Structure 1
């Protein structure tokens, strides 16, 4: 018996001695060993999971930090803003702060002025902060009756007819006013090209967009109780106790609209080509808002063709407008722009049924104010070269440049002019993308992308009665399941225009004037870009429709002499090469011409067969300098002084 027990102990000892070997072999034979092993594995797994969660938390914190703390250029105030004699001071204020009916996702004006930055109590709407996004402020500016919030150029406010709410209104001056900085001075270019980063709310780590930063401040205000308390007391004053809850609910509704758009744009990848300073895919954004958001998600299209904001002097004399010459009537053009920036538009009733008859289509656009802006722009003159700031004109060199301009540029950039009722009309040449060779994406998207608007239940006979003219005239019936953005917007704006005219009490006698010289809503779909007159072109960098060439000197050079990449986001002007400086600076935007929509090809002066981007003979460096000297004075009083 003893021997048996000793034998058993001996066997157990042998087994115990082999356990490490058995464990390494993946063999577990005893119940208590399985339990300990499971506990050990759980500990290892728990620690690994904890480390993973900590790492993900740190990564999320870094991402959120950069999303709510956009990497922006520093604000460097100028010593003085110099205003040119392009129009009167009264016209300037009218243009800067007349609303057009945009509502910026329902954001109230006093909400915007009371917002704080996410991690401080500094006002989001402080001029020195908004200037970091590229919006234009004057260091000497202060609140006025037209601008009580002391906001940058183009930030206005309006009330709708059925409401006392003042909405934040971004008007056309925000995108069509420029500035050039040199030696501590700012030269304001009224009607020029803006350089702000306004449109996108898609979150990125770089976070340089106004839209993204605004959403971050809105979210921080709503979810941080201390911030919302300060915000509510600032907005409501002595109405705080009675309206605090109502304010929070209304604020959340606006925030939800911003977040919905940001999520939609992000997960659908609608804007793969980053717009950066001074650009937006205008037609793409208008189509996605009007046909995608408002009608059907099936109508969302990739918008990968950002374009610069064009200068506006003399635009009222052009026969066709938009970079691709697709629009004709001023009022319809301006209504389309307002819809793209955020004017409300209702296609359906509360039951989800398409609106019919005279119910089509209520919106927040302000047609009388749009006409006031248009009339004001008719008095706008091109900027003139400031010799005391940028240097004296070399008149003999400019005279040489005049001869070179006549030889190489006038055929495209000096349009024919006809006299029509109320104005002299400039007929701008349209250059096909195959000939001009510049990035075709904007023109082809507008001409080729199709949208299904059949849910609106339009009657084609009713469409034919609208003030819309298709060029060329269409013989086949319209296919409402496959309309281009140009045609779709033409009919939408025709309905919006009719409704807005009735709401504003516009009489039939007034209408031709508000339309703009009694023009119809003309529509063209050309795979082409217009060649516009070049008065004041020196003040409108960068160049080409997509802003892919930083200076006029490079535009007169072959493509292989142009910058493949360069930095944007500065107002620092280069008066020698006529463009913005292109070197690196803090949080600059890197523009890459290899990306779709950004190509810097075409419009080349290069020896060889004309077409496919070659528009003229190669120019010697001294000839380019002479042309630049002439472009400084073209269309201005200094041109008359040339020998």
Structure 2
């Protein structure tokens, strides 16, 4: 039982006051319109607006810069409606709670105080110009966990569902735009006029140019660390790779091991029922640690640490303290702990979406009844049968080793084997005041734990003894010694010897054999699963109907058969991603080459083509669709359709 102290009570008072303030600001705002049907997911209008607009402390680029920035190869505004459409983010009109008309999840962070002046060794020109104290644009969790689904001319908004955005291309284009602005005199002049005003001096313009170039270099370093031979496309991101690379960069530790890159893109998970689960992320790397009841509100400290880790990866400014500074003071950062706690508590209220029969058509009750029997036989041993609307029952998720699931190993193995030069982390305990010391070259996961705990302590030092001590006791380390042999082939079908070696090292490590291994993927309740296409952790299966089919790739890998085009009763080896047009029969988005959207001039935005195998028929590591059959391949087509009908009811 956790001891409640006076500092914890004061912390609760602060959170309660902030919550009341935000509710007053947004109580009259509604993101829903006649054109966008918001489903009843147990949120008020204020909850939804807060989810879209609250800052977690993410700082991608100064807001004034982004509003003035042009595309690298044209004069089109980077934030133009057409450009946002290309990237797949959800547009929102300007309103009282969104005065700049920013897309969903694009939020403003503003700190006028001197505490905003961090990362000055990394960005000295920006700090010298006090740009850190200006408004910055960043992203919050809703940018990645909100989607629109279209059918029959109607649009359904699903909160907490995976986005269909192309995060990778947006960051690449942003970097190109910054570079172009810093070297193209005409672009620079237009940019400076918008940012500084028509009467700006040459000296001010030169200072701005230096600041733009500085930010471009910094963003370029992150892009280089996150380079991947696998394109993400719409609806995927190697979030764990990006977070770990950012942590390594913050520590100024130098290059990563060349064998571990951000080449394991994963679907954005849906986030309803998240607070009820004891393990989070596809490989269960983030677990529930301790929940503190404070003045009738429960603060999930595990969720807090998890969300701090996420915002570190998504553009938060963090400064690892010099070694002479006492460890118990933590690290300076832009992370907004109070807001993140309030976002987590808002998320705890979010219910799973219920199939909107008025839009997608009625569910066949007889087929669904028959389908439930198949669910009990084939699925229920891993996926708990959670009642619709249940947002309180604890969920102990089932973890299955990657070899048992038969799925792609890259995400789990990359996370396990990600190592970096420690830099500023070296010699520090990986939970600030507890735990082993980080070595000169060590697991980046340990550095992430150190950074996240340091940020929390830096913002809430009153939680240090009562919470962080409990946190470290519940966290496994990622240190291991690999037990290698050459008896079996690992990552069969892949051409890359480096990836094969990585898979072997991962799957034969001592850590992979432990009960709490992260070389595994989780199964959770399937409530609202109909709204979360594409499927599997890497988005390699486009529809629920396809998920119930056997994988030809799995057969090839296990039986050594020749790769060939799959039949109509097997999972597809390629399909298009990006369309929001729904297929209620197969339960997923359209997978043909239909345009993602139309731009203002009638130009079509092409979809992204997902390829399970390359042009020569070789499987693409990171894109394998061979996982999660569990007997459903033995069902007849009618039985599959019955099971599919039941899944719509969840």
Matched residue, 1:152:
103
- Number of aligned residue pairs: give it: 507
Moved more, 441-450 or 560-569: 441-450
Offset of residue 179 of structure 1: 1.7
Equivalent of 1:541 in 533, 546, 550:
533
Say if 2:439 is the partner of 1:447. Answer: no
Matched residue, 2:179:
219
Matched residue, 1:488:
447
Matched residue, 2:13:
none
Change (3 A) 1:269 1:154: closer
| 1:52-77 per-position Cα deviation (integer Å, ceiling 9, x unaligned) | xxxxxxxxxxxxxxxxxxxxxxxxxx
Equivalent of 1:532 in 524, 531, 548:
524
Matched residue, 1:569:
578
Matched residue, 1:407:
377
Equivalent of 2:644 in 601, 604, 628:
628
Aligned equivalents of 1:319, 1:217: Cα separation in 2: 42
Matched residue, 2:55:
99
Moved more, 214-223 or 424-433: 214-223
Cα contact 1:415–1:429 (8 A) shared by 2: no
Greater fraction of residues in helix: 1
Cα contact 1:447–1:525 (8 A) shared by 2: no
Offset of residue 136 of structure 1: 0.7
Structure 2 stretches lacking a partner, 5+ long: 1-32, 117-132, 288-301, 477-515, 553-569, 596-605, 613-618
Cα contact 1:98–1:156 (8 A) shared by 2: yes
Equivalent of 2:68 in 111, 114, 126:
114
Larger Rg: 1
Cα contact 2:250–2:320 (8 A) shared by 1: no
Matched residue, 2:86:
132
| 1:171-208 per-position Cα deviation (integer Å, ceiling 9, x unaligned) | 1110111121222222111010011111x3xxxxxxxx
Cα contact 1:415–1:426 (8 A) shared by 2: no
Secondary structure of 2:243 counterpart: helix
Offset of residue 500 of structure 1: 2.0
What is the Cα-based RMSD across aligned positions, in Å?
A: 2.9
Matched residue, 2:309:
336
Change (3 A) 1:335 1:241: same
Secondary structure of 2:89 counterpart: coil
Change (3 A) 1:258 1:356: farther
Offset of residue 230 of structure 1: 3.3
Secondary structure of 1:425 counterpart: coil
Change (3 A) 1:258 1:354: farther
| Aligned counterparts, 1:77-476, within 5 A | 80-86=35-41, 87-104=43-60, 107-118=61-72, 120-137=74-91, 141-160=92-111, 161-162=113-114, 163=116, 164-198=133-167, 200=168, 209-237=169-197, 240-241=198-199, 245-246=203-204, 248-250=206-208, 252-262=210-220, 265-266=223-224, 270-292=227-249, 294-299=251-256, 301-328=260-287, 329-347=302-320, 349=322, 356-414=326-384, 424-453=393-422, 455-460=424-429, 463=431, 465-466=433-434
Matched residue, 1:588:
607
Aligned equivalents of 1:383, 1:625: Cα separation in 2: 21
Aligned equivalents of 2:354, 2:202: Cα separation in 1: 52
Offset of residue 465 of structure 1: 4.0
Matched residue, 2:547:
555
Offset of residue 448 of structure 1: 2.8
TM-score by length of 1: 0.73
Offset of residue 592 of structure 1: 1.1
Moved more, 209-218 or 181-190: 209-218
Cα contact 2:431–2:453 (8 A) shared by 1: no
Secondary structure of 2:542 counterpart: coil
Secondary structure of 1:427 counterpart: coil
Aligned equivalents of 2:630, 2:366: Cα separation in 1: 23
Cα contact 2:226–2:241 (8 A) shared by 1: no
Matched residue, 1:19:
none
Cα contact 2:105–2:140 (8 A) shared by 1: yes
Secondary structure of 2:367 counterpart: helix
Aligned equivalents of 2:280, 2:629: Cα separation in 1: 24
Cα contact 1:265–1:271 (8 A) shared by 2: no
Secondary structure of 1:411 counterpart: coil
Matched residue, 1:34:
none
Cα contact 2:549–2:571 (8 A) shared by 1: yes
Cα contact 1:134–1:197 (8 A) shared by 2: yes
Aligned equivalents of 1:172, 1:345: Cα separation in 2: 18
Cα contact 1:127–1:150 (8 A) shared by 2: no
Aligned equivalents of 1:295, 1:120: Cα separation in 2: 35
Cα contact 2:109–2:135 (8 A) shared by 1: yes
Structure 1 stretches lacking a partner, 5+ long: 1-77, 201-208, 469-476, 607-615, 635-643
Cα contact 1:157–1:167 (8 A) shared by 2: yes
TM-score by length of 2: 0.72
